[in-house]
Structure 1
Amino acid sequence: MRIVAVLAVEGAVGLELAGACQVFAAAYDPISGEPLYDVRVCGSSAGTTVRAHRLEIFRAQAPYRFEDALDADTLIVPASYTASAEVLATVREAHRRGIRIAAICTGAFTLAAAGLLDGRPAATHWAHAEELARRYPKVEVATDVLYLDDGDLLTSAGVTAGLDLCLHLVRQDHGSAVAATVARRLVMAPHRDGGQAQFLTAPAIAGEGSLEPVMRWMQEHLTEPLTLASIAGHASMSTRTLSRQFRAQTGSTPLQWVIRLRISRAQELLETTDLTIDQIATASGFGSPLLLRQHFTKALATTPTAYRRTFAPIG
């Protein structure tokens, strides 16, 4: 039986703490019916405050101490911005001993603070990726993945991506059949590939700038065959001036901005309607399913059909 230690770090997100435990605790040998993991929650003798986002929901006492985590085969590090000296020492020693370490969400900050991610790739929640890169410039921050497996160190985006990461570890340890059974027990997707992008936001209309009117016009005419020349003509600018101002105001080109808008429209339709892929391609301005697939897959590392399966409402 493999031992999984989940660190009850101060301020841990309840769903990450309990979710990791639930994934491993739900894994059973298909023949004997015996549990495949001994799951141990390890924390400080002073107890741990557990939260939901910024709301403190309760304070708990872990049944194991941090030092007990060093007996584990796998160490799970939930979200934390500022790890205690005791947590950092535990993580460093676990790594020295060759224990597999997986960090969920801002748990990557703990691994980085411990010096384990220098020169290595790491994922975290999209909202904190920039801060991780700023604080720890030696870390190769990946901003467009659900989770990242770098052998002995694994990292993931927030909360539910942490469940995907834990399920990935079960699949790695015991195969796809056991992982699929765990997923069915927890009513979650049996496999979301780690390379799938976390999400893609619709580009914002730049405030009261010189391009605000033309940006709104582009948004309102998304299904039309917009070209650089037609956009520049509407803005009464040369294509060179439009491109320069657009880059300065948005960090993007006009046509890249249009593609982002169209992908965002396609995401919305995939999530909220039962339109066919052909219809969505037309309604989002791509015109053909092939172009929709090409741009969608390039931006989100998943297909429109796979995206719908994951995000469309049930029923």
Structure 2
Amino acid sequence: MKCKHVFAIALLSVGSMKLQAQQHRAHEQQMHTMASEVQQTNVRIAILLYPDVVLQDFAGPMEVFSKAKNLSQGKYTVFTVAKDLKPVRTENGLLKMTPDYTLENMPTADYLIIPGASMPVMHALVDDKVYLDFIKRWSKKNDGHLVTVCTGAYLVAPTGAFDGKKITTHYFVADDLAEQYPKATVVKDVRFVDEGNIITSSGVTSGIDVALYLVGKQSGEKMKAMIERAMQYTYHEEEKWPVAPNGMRYRSQ
């Protein structure tokens, strides 16, 4: 009886190993199929860094694209760019990063992600001609897409790239952005707005939504859904915005 029991366990073990092998082959086949569905040989994403940038504004999209790179078997390339190659600290000095490229020597990219920061930081950036000239050059490209996250919209608006377009930004500064740049139409209660080569997203975590949206466009809904599950994140295109307490609102000085 003991031998029969051992033999039965051995059979179960072999069966389990076969099932695992079959599941592994099915998973590999699914990964290969998804990789073949990516529209481009390589989707290239540049992320702009600058001092005191909000970490979540670029970390969220970066994580989405990192998972897309795995699932597509390397068809996504993500790199960072900055004014120079000096280490950049995020808001409150939480993280120090060394950019991959400068604004002058960066490789070609399909998407340029511009994350946001506190409004004093954004106003200081707007006063720096280097950033505005760079964005003007980029926005004139026919084959590149400009993507803003949160208050990153304030770095693009002065260049005129938003004129005649629908845009969005963080809910707390949306009215101010509309007043400062009346040639653009600010849309509320959305996570992002796609106007072709200009894509804007609302507050902070909306960068995850816009990144998932871009993955869906490039690689299909199946990959997008897999990344949603992996991140335990629920994708939204529309969402009722919060209301600031006591009628508070931001106004540019």
Instruction: Report the Cα distance in structure 2 between the residues aligned to 1:4 and 1:169, rounded to whole angstroms.
Output: 11
- Within 5 Å, give how 1:218-229 maps onto structure 2: none
Instruction: Report the Cα distance in structure 1 between the residues aligned to 2:44 and 2:148, rounded to whole angstroms.
Output: 16
Instruction: Report the Cα distance in structure 2 between the residues aligned to 1:62 and 1:200, rounded to whole angstroms.
Output: 36
Q: Deviations over 1:239-258 (max 9, x none)?
A: xxxxxxxxxxxxxxxxxxxx
What amino acid is aligned across from residue 150 of structure 2 in structure 1? C
Q: What is the CA-CA distance between 1:125 and the residue it aligns to?
A: 0.5
Counterpart of 1:198 (choices 241, 244, 249) is 241
Q: Which runs of 4+ in 1 moved over 4 A?
A: none
- Within 5 Å, give how 1:158-237 maps onto structure 2: 158-189=203-234, 191-193=235-237, 195-200=238-243
- Within 5 Å, give how 1:269-284 maps onto structure 2: none
Counterpart of 1:66 (choices 103, 119, 129) is 103
Say which SS state the counterpart of residue 160 (structure 2) adopts.
Answer: coil
What amino acid is aligned across from residue 75 of structure 1 in structure 2? L
Q: Which runs of 5+ in 2 are unaligned?
A: 1-41, 248-253
Alignment partner of 1:89 is 2:133: yes
Say which SS state the counterpart of residue 67 (structure 1) adopts.
Answer: coil
TM-score by length of 2: 0.71
Give the match for residue 87 of structure 2. Answer: 47
Tell me if structure 1 keeps the 8 A contact 2:146–2:197: yes
Aligned-pair identity in percent equals 26
Say which SS state the counterpart of residue 75 (structure 1) adopts.
Answer: strand
Q: What is the CA-CA distance between 1:62 and the residue it aligns to?
A: 0.8
TM-score by length of 1: 0.58
Tell me if structure 2 keeps the 8 A contact 1:70–1:90: no
Give the match for residue 65 of structure 2. Answer: 24
Tell me if structure 2 keeps the 8 A contact 1:13–1:78: yes
Instruction: Report the Cα distance in structure 1 between the residues aligned to 2:191 and 2:224, rounded to whole angstroms.
Output: 17
- Within 5 Å, give how 1:70-149 maps onto structure 2: 71-80=108-117, 81-82=122-123, 83=125, 84-98=128-142, 99-149=144-194
What amino acid is aligned across from residue 224 of structure 2 in structure 1? A
Counterpart of 2:93 (choices 40, 43, 56) is 56
Give the match for residue 310 of structure 1. Answer: none
What amino acid is aligned across from residue 40 of structure 1 in structure 2? F
Instruction: Report the Cα distance in structure 2 between the residues aligned to 1:110 and 1:96, rounded to whole angstroms.
Output: 15
What amino acid is aligned across from residue 130 of structure 2 in structure 1? E
Closer/same/farther in 2, CA of residues 78 and 69 from structure 1, 3 Å limit: farther
Give the match for residue 14 of structure 1. Answer: 55
User: How large is the Cα RMSD of the aligned pairs?
Assistant: 2.1
Highest RCO, 1 vs 2 (Cα 8 Å, sep ≥ 6): 2
Give the match for residue 37 of structure 1. Answer: 76
What amino acid is aligned across from residue 135 of structure 2 in structure 1? V
Counterpart of 2:195 (choices 126, 147, 150) is 150
Q: Deviations over 1:254-293 (max 9, x none)?
A: xxxxxxxxxxxxxxxxxxxxxxxxxxxxxxxxxxxxxxxx
Tell me if structure 2 keeps the 8 A contact 1:9–1:87: no
Q: Deviations over 1:223-251 (max 9, x none)?
A: xxxxxxxxxxxxxxxxxxxxxxxxxxxxx
Instruction: Report the Cα distance in structure 2 between the residues aligned to 1:69 and 1:183, rounded to whole angstroms.
Output: 30
User: What is the number of residues matched between the two proteins?
Assistant: 197
Instruction: Report the Cα distance in structure 2 between the residues aligned to 1:12 and 1:93, rounded to whole angstroms.
Output: 22
Q: What is the CA-CA distance between 1:57 and the residue it aligns to?
A: 2.2
Instruction: Report the Cα distance in structure 1 between the residues aligned to 2:158 and 2:207, rounded to whole angstroms.
Output: 20
Instruction: Report the Cα distance in structure 2 between the residues aligned to 1:168 and 1:149, rounded to whole angstroms.
Output: 10
